[in-house]
Amino acid sequence: MGKIGIIIAREFNTRIRKRSFIITTMLMPLLFVGLMIAPTLLMRMETDNSRTILVIDHSNVIGDKLISNNKLIYKTTDKSEEDLKTQQSGLFGYIVIGADVIKNPNDIKLHTYESSTLDTEYAINRELNRIIEQERLMNHNIKGLGSIINNIKSNAKVTSFKIEEDGEKSASSSALSMGIAYVFGIFIYMFTFMYGMMVMQGVIEEKSSKVVEVLISSVKPFQLMMGKIIGIASVAITQFCIWMILIVIFSNIALQMITIDPATIQNSMQMGASLPAGVDTEAMTALTTLTDWSFLLSIFGSFIIYFIGGYLLYAAMFAAVGSAVSSVEESQQLQLPITIPMMLSIFIMISVIKEPNSTLAVIASIIPFTSPVVMMARIPYGVPTWELVTSIVFLYSSFIGMVWVASKIYRVGIFMHGKRPSFKELFKWIKYN
């Protein structure tokens, strides 16, 4: 094993044995799966927490036509407002509907025994407006009006297909593409920043403990820098792979806990392109796309390539900052040139999701400092091969160049203590032979 390999092994073994690594490795998948099933659990809690509302209908038109659901239960009553002024057990409140509500729809009052919510009021308004509109239409005395309205209603949904270079068509889901683009773009940003900071803190700790002065007598700065960066990268990849495995395991456990049968979902994926009425075409297209292993491999493969490239590039920059300062507090100013392009890539990503093939998207996905996040936002929509190759070559070439620059700063900075260098001084360090 060469010197770089020894440094990689040391960094890897030291960090995976830390309690913080073990805790985050176990908790992150649980948190991720928890966030996925939270909406379902909340919907079930809302279903169990239905609200009963009494209806005092002076018009004798609205009350009987109100349709209850799992959240709001309407019950007409002969009681007066005077009888309902005191708290009623099991009731959320009551509605008073005016006698001339068809002409004056504002003559409706909701009284509640507890604080009302915007969702509740919106649901009540929507139901009342539906009935009032129907009554107004019926007042025109058009024969067969109800069946005419039912016949003209439509809920059309477009099923999208992408035509490949060989002429074949494949199902395309814009919602799925947008979701994947956003999630993986954020993942790369988060992981790159997190592990890049880890490199910087490691360099600062070694510099403060004087360990680096012993190491530098045995290895070249470039070797030490490369070994540290790749060692922490191997920790990141290991943690990510464990996360993926645990997320799959925890997801299946969660599906069983909320009584959703995965086999039912799998059977739905076998449906063809022509879907029957009432089927959510967008959801079915997304599920079909998720069974395409070539699509999944291209997404995860691209993620690994761009995560490693983005991390290596930014880790070299963070290492250079760490070698130039004596504490994390001193690094704040020097981190600015690093954080600006990272933040910029997030803003560009939001625009790219809307227009994945715009000029801004193409340029930003090739520039090394923004390409890891921006290109991952474009890949689910399909990217020409030449753009992918160009982007990857530029990214990894920039990493090699940045490691060389960082090692030049590292060689001088590790022996500097008590003074934070300016950007002008850092440029001088790079020029030293």
The secondary element (H helix, E strand) that includes residue 297 is: helix 293-324
pLDDT tens across the length of the chain (433 residues): 577 788 788 878 887 888 877 888 888 777 777 766 666 666 655 555 678 888 888 888 888 888 888 788 888 888 887 778 776 677 888 888 888 888 888 888 888 888 777 888 888 888 888 888 888 877 777 777 667 777 776 665 555 555 555 555 454 455 666 777 777 788 888 888 888 888 788 777 776 666 666 666 677 767 777 787 788 778 878 887 887 777 777 766 766 665 544 444 445 444 444 444 444 444 444 444 544 556 667 777 888 888 888 888 888 888 888 777 777 677 777 778 888 888 898 888 888 877 888 888 889 989 999 988 888 888 877 788 888 899 999 999 988 888 788 777 777 776 666 666 667 777 777 776 6
pLDDT at res. 392: 92
State the pLDDT at residue 390: 92
Model pLDDT, residue 315: 84
CA distances to 137, 172, 299, 365, 391 from 384, rounded to whole Å, are 55, 17, 14, 12, 11
- Specify whether the CB–CB gap between 283 and 175 falls below 8 A: no
Q: Delimit the domains of the chain by residue range.
A: 3-31+175-431, 51-138
Phi, psi of 72 (to 5 degrees): -125, 125
Q: Is the distance from CB of 182 to CB of 378 less than 8 angstroms?
A: no
Q: Counting Cβ atoms within 10 Å, is residue 39 exposed (0-12), middle (13-18) or buried (19+)?
A: exposed
| DSSP letters for 193-255 | HHHHHHHHHHHHHHHHHTHHHHHTTTS-HHHHHHHHHHHHHHHHHHHHHHHHHHHHHHHHHHH
According to the model, what pLDDT value does residue 197 have?
Answer: 83
Cα–Cα distance for residue pair 191/124, rounded to 1 Å = 45
User: In a 10 Å sphere around its CB, with 0-12 CB exposed, 13-18 middle and 19+ buried, how is residue 353 labelled?
Assistant: buried
Of 268, 16, 263, 290, residue with least CA distance to 180: 290
Structure confidence at residue 394 (pLDDT): 93
Question: Distance between CA 3 and CA 11 in Å, rounded?
Answer: 13
Query: What pLDDT shows up at residue 176?
Result: 61
Global pTM exceeds 0.95:
no
CATH class for the domain made up of 51-138: alpha beta
Q: How far is CA 289 from CA 160, 166, 263, in A?
A: 12, 18, 17
SS3 164: coil
Pairing verdict, β 51-57 and 72-76: parallel
For residue 257, what pLDDT is reported? Answer: 63
pLDDT computed for residue 276 by the predictor: 40
